[in-house]
Amino acid sequence: MLTIEHVSKTFNTPGGQVQALKDVSLSVNTGEFVSIIGKSGSGKSTLLSILGALDNPSTGSIVVDDTRINTLSGAKQTQYRAKKIGFVFQQYNLVPNLTALENVMLALEFGGYPATSRFDRATQLLESVGIEEDQRQRRPTRLSGGQQQRVSIARALANQPAYILADEPTGNLDSATGKKIFDLLHDLSRSQKTTIIVVTHDLEIAGKTDKTFILKDGKITTK
Amino acid sequence: MNVLTRGVKNAIRSPLKSGAIVLMFAISIALILSMLVARGSVLSKIEEVKATAGTAVTIQPAGVMGNMGGGDPLTAAQIATITDTANVTSINSTLTDQLGTDDTNLTSSLELGSFGQRQQRFESSDTATTSTEAETSRPAPTPRTSVTGTTDVNSIATDGGDLTISSGEAFDGTSSDNVALVGSDLATKNSLTVGSTFTAYSETITVKGIYTTGNAFQDSGIIMPISTLQTLTDQAGAVSSVTATINSSDNVASTVTALKASLGDDADITSEAESAATSVESLQGIASLTTAGVIAAAAAGALIIVLSMFLVVRERRREIGVIKAIGGSNGKVIGQFIIEGLTITIIGAVIGLVLGVLVSGPMTTSLVSSSANSTSTTETAAGPGQGGRGMGMGSPGAAFNQGAAQLNTNLTQVTASLTPQIFAAAVGITLLIALLGSAIPAWLTARIRPAEVLRTE
């Protein structure tokens, strides 16, 4: 279970202080498929960064499976990201000079997966997200947007994380491909009981999730 | 794939960019090695020249050079002062004189020539006549025979080694017997052999040996024990030149200063080491230049690597952020960039060191030959002035000219040599640059926070 209590986040910018999140509280049950919607600049990505321990809140706490992650050391937060979290980004963010297979194997390495079985595990993951054999040895630049996002999902699933945090996963894809990616995430949620939190501004996608939170000017409301 | 293979793979992910960095770095390493080789070779040559210059110091009465000039010979008290001076290990005293036709039955083996006639044009037995009368009443000048009294016959040798005695043997330098070594030309002219006798200063002198130096002036002279010559010329204790040997080349300058202080204006003191120091000034200039070159090339190499890695890290901030976001620890990311930096550095260093080995020889030759040309010009200009002094047998001026010529030859013979020490120094500097080039990206990558990078999403 994931619980956020009274989380605020303030950034110092050249133009002064900007409060991206204001006293945000919410909870997500294990295995739920949750969406967070809101306009650009509403604080969606900031909230996702805090949930993934990429950033720490200015105030408040984030408890994930009884562990308060915002007070963990940098090294522990890295471990938390490697083992409990899988990230899916709007820009895919695959490492450009590594092949699709190597990108997935990289996540397995960080998760402490044995070196001897990384290849088989990565191959199986890519197969499960629909990446063909000839596409696995390609670098990201030689894959379509949809294929890159599939590789990105395979990478996120590498260490069997309890949570997948997806930031606009279909934002750069056409509607048909976006639907396929959403269905893939949805199936994962159902088949592997993985908790999935998707940040999106696509109301159609949000409508298909178990729970939707709306962020507006840094404050959250449950739909 | 692990940190090592990722680092190596990243180093060559952009062959053109990596190739340019490697090439620039290789050139700076080649320059470092070349400058180190040139510096090492020049410093070694400076030491060699200083060592060749020896530790001899020549002391002569002020105003005297050979048999020219004027002044009083060095006294026994001054000789004692020289002997007692700190760092003086031994001395060799000489007294020179010339035998005219009235002094000896020997015929000089030297032709007087126009030069000799000019040297003797002032001499006349009739000093009371007017100048016009003197011109007509002077006897025709005749060539003279030089005679050197010495404690060490080897001091006459012109090559700095032992005197070559073609027949007979050397005399005891401390004896006062009426014996002499005769130059080969003079011996031939007068049909002298070992055991022959001749007359000098109204005394009968026995030929102990015949020597040869290859120098026409020296081979036309006579060498005697100094005590014998002092007695024959009625100059007890008089010395016209002293060569003092100093215990170490490092002490030559201080000993010369001490001798100048104790002997004052009564003596002229010269040393080959001082002359050598002047001669090697140009080489020392090159040594300083090459030191500056090493520093500049090392700085350039370090700057190339640091700036390149800085740009690489900056360009890949997003990638670093992503790696950290998916669970890559700081250690793994830093390790990857250190390997990447080291790969570029090592490839550049290997190419640079090979290039350096190839160009260090020509570069050293080029640097030194330009310097040697200017040195030769200086020596040539000084030549006639020094040559004019060499009238007296055993004149330190003659030996000094020889020494200077040898120094000049030595200066032009700087050979580039790549010693293990120089190679190790080049590798050491390269490693330092590599460490610096790795530390910078490590520091930069550690500072990158994934959230800041991904916030641009």
Contact state of A109 with B455 under an 8 Å Cβ cutoff: no
Select from B375, B278, B276 the least CA-distant residue to B54. Answer: B276
The residues, ordered by sequence, that sit 6+ positions from B183 with a Cβ below 8 Å of its Cβ are B109, B210, B211, B212, B213, B218, B219, B220, B221, B222
Q: Indicate the burial class of B253 (C-beta count within 10 angstroms; 0-12, 13-18, 19 or more).
A: middle
Q: Which residues of B touch A45 (CB under 8 A)?
A: 454-455, 457
Contact state of A78 with B449 under an 8 Å Cβ cutoff: no
Instruction: Tell me the C-alpha to C-alpha distance, in Å, between residue B306 and each of A174, B77, B401, B433.
Output: 43, 70, 54, 9
Residue A206 and residue B127: Cα distance in Å, rounded? 135
What's the confidence (pLDDT) of residue A155?
A: 92
| Tens digits of residue pLDDT in A106-125 | 999 998 889 899 999 999 98
Long-range interactions of B441-446: CB distance < 8 A, separation 24+? B441/B309, B441/B310, B441/B312, B441/B313, B441/B334, B441/B337, B441/B338, B441/B340, B441/B341, B442/B334, B442/B337, B442/B338, B444/B310, B444/B313, B444/B314, B445/B313, B445/B320, B445/B330, B445/B333, B445/B334, B445/B337, B446/B330, B446/B333, B446/B334
Report the pLDDT averaged over residues A183-206: 83
Interchain CB contact of B5 with A (< 8 Å): no
Angstroms from A187 CA to nearest CA on chain B:
22
Select from B207, B95, B83 the least CA-distant residue to B151. Answer: B95
Give the CA radius of gyration of chain A: 17
Instruction: Tell me the C-alpha to C-alpha distance, in Å, between residue B349 and each of B35, B156, B420, B422.
Output: 15, 56, 16, 15
Is B13 in contact with A97 (CB distance < 8 Å)?
Answer: yes
Interchain CB contact of B144 with A (< 8 Å): no
Q: Could you say which of B2, B329, B454 has the minimum Cβ distance to residue A54?
A: B454
Contact state of B328 with A106 under an 8 Å Cβ cutoff: yes
Best residue of A110, A159, A165, A172 to probe chain B, by most B CBs closer than 10 Å: A110
Q: Indicate the burial class of B136 (C-beta count within 10 angstroms; 0-12, 13-18, 19 or more).
A: exposed
What's the confidence (pLDDT) of residue A120?
A: 94
Residue A177 and residue B370: Cα distance in Å, rounded? 74
- Higher local confidence (pLDDT), A185 or A134: A134
What ipTM was predicted for this assembly? Answer: 0.90
Contact state of A78 with B329 under an 8 Å Cβ cutoff: yes
* Separation of first and last alpha carbons in chain A: 20
Q: Could you say which of B2, B329, B451 has the minimum Cβ distance to residue A54?
A: B451
What's the confidence (pLDDT) of residue B379?
A: 36
Strand, coil or helix: what is B246?
A: strand
Q: Could you say which of B1, B319, B327 has the minimum Cβ distance to residue A96?
A: B319
Residue A206 and residue A209: Cα distance in Å, rounded? 5
| Tens digits of residue pLDDT in B384-427 | 333 333 334 444 444 445 555 555 555 555 666 777 888 888 88
Interchain CB contact of A102 with B (< 8 Å): yes
Q: Which residues of B touch A109 (CB under 8 A)?
A: 1-2
| Tens digits of residue pLDDT in A45-63 | 889 889 999 888 999 999 9
Interchain CB contact of B324 with A (< 8 Å): yes
Contact state of A89 with B329 under an 8 Å Cβ cutoff: no
Q: With pLDDT > 70 as the criterion, what percentage of chain A qualifies?
A: 99
The structure tokens listed for B260 are 């100048």
pLDDT one digit per residue (tens) for chain B, 457 residues: 688 888 888 888 788 888 998 998 899 889 888 888 888 888 888 887 777 667 788 888 887 766 666 777 888 888 888 989 888 888 888 888 888 888 888 888 887 777 777 767 766 544 444 445 545 555 667 788 889 999 888 877 766 678 888 889 888 888 888 999 999 999 998 888 899 899 888 888 999 999 998 888 888 999 999 999 988 888 888 888 888 888 877 788 888 888 888 888 888 888 777 777 776 777 788 888 888 888 898 888 888 888 888 888 888 888 888 898 888 888 888 888 888 888 888 899 899 989 988 888 888 777 776 655 544 333 333 333 333 333 344 444 444 455 555 555 555 556 667 778 888 888 888 888 888 777 877 788 888 888 876 665 4
Q: Could you say which of A74, A90, A111 has the minimum Cβ distance to residue B457?
A: A90
What's the confidence (pLDDT) of residue B96?
A: 87
What's the confidence (pLDDT) of residue B55?
A: 78
What's the confidence (pLDDT) of residue B351?
A: 93
Report the pLDDT averaged over residues A17-30: 90
Q: Which residues of B touch A87 (CB under 8 A)?
A: 325-326
Q: Which residues of B touch A155 (CB under 8 A)?
A: 326
- pLDDT higher than threshold 80 for residue A139: yes
Interchain CB contact of B314 with A (< 8 Å): no
What's the confidence (pLDDT) of residue B381?
A: 32
Topology (CATH) of A30-44+72-222: Rossmann fold (3.40.50)
Find the Cα–Cα–Cα–Cα dihedral A121, A124, A125, A130, rounded to 10°: 160
Angstroms from B373 CA to nearest CA on chain A:
57
pLDDT band at A222 (very low <50, low <70, confident <90, very high): low
Domain boundaries, chain B: 3-51+281-454, 75-124+134-239
Domain boundaries, chain A: 30-44+72-222
Angstroms from A90 CA to nearest CA on chain B:
7
* Separation of first and last alpha carbons in chain B: 28
Q: Which amino acid is at B400?
A: F
Interchain CB contact of A110 with B (< 8 Å): yes
Interchain CB contact of B325 with A (< 8 Å): yes
What's the confidence (pLDDT) of residue B454?
A: 67
What's the confidence (pLDDT) of residue B241?
A: 86
Angstroms from B325 CA to nearest CA on chain A:
7
What's the confidence (pLDDT) of residue B17?
A: 86
Is B92 in contact with B243 (CB distance < 8 Å)?
Answer: yes
**Chain A residue nearest residue B450, CA to CA:** A54
Place of tokens 């400058």: B35
Interchain CB contact of B18 with A (< 8 Å): no
What's the confidence (pLDDT) of residue B58?
A: 87
Q: What are phi and psi of A217, to 5 degrees?
A: 50, 40
Mean pLDDT (chain A, rounded): 88
What's the confidence (pLDDT) of residue B378?
A: 33
Q: Could you say which of A93, A105, A111 has the minimum Cβ distance to residue B327?
A: A111
Angstroms from B288 CA to nearest CA on chain A:
47
Q: Could you say which of B324, B449, B454 has the minimum Cβ distance to residue A89?
A: B454
Contact state of A105 with B328 under an 8 Å Cβ cutoff: no
Interchain CB contact of A114 with B (< 8 Å): no
